[in-house]
Structure 1
Amino acid sequence: MAVSLQVIYPISEGTTFDYSYYTTTHFDLVGEHMGEHIETMFVTKGLAGGPDTPPGIYAVATLVFENQDALNASMAAAPPVLADIANFTNVQPQMLIGEVIS
């Protein structure tokens, strides 16, 4: 069964997020270290939290894996990717690992 890893970067007062660095340098690191295990990856940039409501999230990265073993292998290769987070944001990201049901 396919599983996903979502990395969520919430907005709060005093936080910053460098989209340019994130979409270039950080994505390159993800591909280099974790890419062989990822089936699909996409990122959603927060634009709004509803009508006339600013976004509460900078971005959500969704990585889809064939199965739990592929996710585990990807996470074992992730330390350089995780270490890079401080280079584009001061946000403490949240993670959600889940079963892909649709």
Structure 2
Amino acid sequence: MAYSSNIHVAVYQVLDQVLVANVAPPGAKATIHSVIDDLYAASAPRRLIEQAEGISLQLHFLEAAVARGDSAQMLDARDKLRSIAAAWLDHRISQKAVH
């Protein structure tokens, strides 16, 4: 893995970087794709895989919106990424409470 050994941390770091910078920083999409591969390999819960795939999709939407200069689409993609970030963090917190 080319990212944090903790998948949850790696995903949240990517989301944080994107939301702070308003664009996907270099390597963000590659990190998310690696995370998705690792989630599949680890037979992770479907919900986590779907969230990671949703991040990938929204990163592509954000990148395309930036290229077109479409501020409404940029805002929509960032809003969806914020929502995914909240769900990702919520899942992480609830998992820690269980253990």
Instruction: Name the larger-Rg structure.
Output: 1
Structure with higher strand content: 1
Query: TM-score w.r.t. structure 1 length?
Result: 0.32
The TM-score, its normalising length taken from structure 2, stands at 0.32
Higher RCO structure (Cα 8 Å, ≥6 apart): 1
